[in-house]
Amino acid sequence: MAKVDTVFTGSIPVIYDKYLGPMIFQPYADDIAQRLSGLKQGAVLELAAGTGIVTRALIKTLPATVSLVATDLNQAMIDVAAVTDKADRVSWQQADAQALPFPDASFDAVVCQFGVMFFPDKPKAFREARRVLKPGGRYLFNVWDSLAHNEVTDLVVSAVAEMFPNDPPQFLARTPHGHHDKEPIISALQEAGFTDVTAETVTKRGKAANATDAVLGFVQGTPHRSEIEARDATRLQEATEKAAARVKAKFGNGPIDGKIQAIVFTARR
CATH value at residue 244: 3.40.50.150
Does pLDDT of 3 surpass 70? no
pLDDT of residue 31: 98
Q: How confident is the model at residue 86 (pLDDT cuts 50, 70, 90)?
A: low
Based on the structure, what is the number of domains in the chain? 1
Average pLDDT over the chain reads 95
pLDDT of residue 29: 98
pTM of the predicted structure, to 2 decimals? 0.94
pLDDT of residue 2: 65
- For residue 210, give its domain range: 3-268
Give the closest residue to 94 by CA, choosing from 115, 76, 109, 107. Answer: 76
Edge-to-edge strands, sheet with 195-208: 90-94, 66-72, 42-47, 107-113, 133-144, 256-268, 195-208
Q: What is the pLDDT of residues 211-262, one digit of tens each?
A: 999 999 999 999 999 999 999 999 999 999 999 999 999 999 999 999 999 9
28 near 204, Cβ under 8 Å?
yes
Give the closest residue to 205 by CA, choosing from 157, 122, 261. Answer: 261
Q: What is the pLDDT of residues 98-139, one digit of tens each?
A: 999 999 999 999 999 999 999 999 999 999 999 999 999 999
